[in-house]
Structure 1
Amino acid sequence: MKMRKAKFGIGDIVRHKILPFRGVVFDVDPEFANSEEWWNAIPLEIRPSKDQPFYHLLAENEETEYVAYVSEQNLEEDDSDMPLRNPQINQIFVVESGGHYKPRMNFAH
């Protein structure tokens, strides 16, 4: 598989194009790197291709906060300027002025 350059980076705030959630990127896989069980659970008609970057997000919707694994094709930049509330953000990031998220120096994958 030919790997593509990731569109989003660590600390970028993104939102899902179809589902109602948003989050901050805390890790990037250059191509799909989850289980086949996870992959097969996605309905075939909306299953994304594996040969694209996949993003680990500290995600949230109106009801809860969680970790999400999302293909690049399903994400777009979130420019809402609304703060994120996921409590894990402060473990991984320092929130800078303007709402930018910078990884803490002691955080490692």
Structure 2
Amino acid sequence: MSLVHTARFSIGQIVRHRDDAFRGVVMDVDPAYDGPASETGGISPAQPFYRVFATGEDGGFIAYAAEDVLEGDDARLAPADERRWFTIDAHGHHAPLDMRLH
């Protein structure tokens, strides 16, 4: 029997790394780690992992993070970052300007 995890965060949701390494918008969810087994850094690969479009002073970047190190963030992104990188639906979910929300 296999264990099925339910993702805690949804596509378009704003999250932050619990160590404040970054904050950004969830762009994709993998049900488990999608990479070389040697690169989990001691984090269990048997949990959802997220591709997060993170914003910073130098622009945006993609982070790949385990669910255990992410927290939901109710704060909004800076208005300039929102206009530069995203469209926002009526529920506050974000999507890149060139993608549609799921």
Secondary structure of 1:20's aligned partner? coil
Q: Which runs of structure 2 are paired with 1:15-54 in the superposition (5 Å)?
A: 15-36=16-37, 39=39, 42=41, 47-54=42-49
Partner of 1:96: 89
Where is the strand percentage greater, Structure 1 or Structure 2? 2
Q: What TM-score results when the alignment is normalised by the length of structure 2?
A: 0.75
Mapped to 1, the partners of 2:94 and 2:82 lie a distance apart of 13
Q: Is the 8 A contact 1:58 1:86 kept in 2?
A: no
C-alpha distance in 2, partners of 1:97/1:55?
23
Work out the CA distance in 2 between the residues paired with 1:7 and 1:55. Answer: 10
Structure 2 residue runs without a partner (length 5+): none
What is the alpha-carbon distance in structure 2 between the residues aligned to residue 57 and residue 97 of structure 1?
Answer: 21
Q: Which residue of 2 aligns with 1:59?
A: 54
The aligned residue for residue 6 of structure 1 is 7
Secondary structure at 1:82 match in 2: coil
| CA RMSD after TM alignment | 2.9
Residue identity over aligned pairs, in percent, reads: 35
TM-fit CA distance, 1:101: 1.7
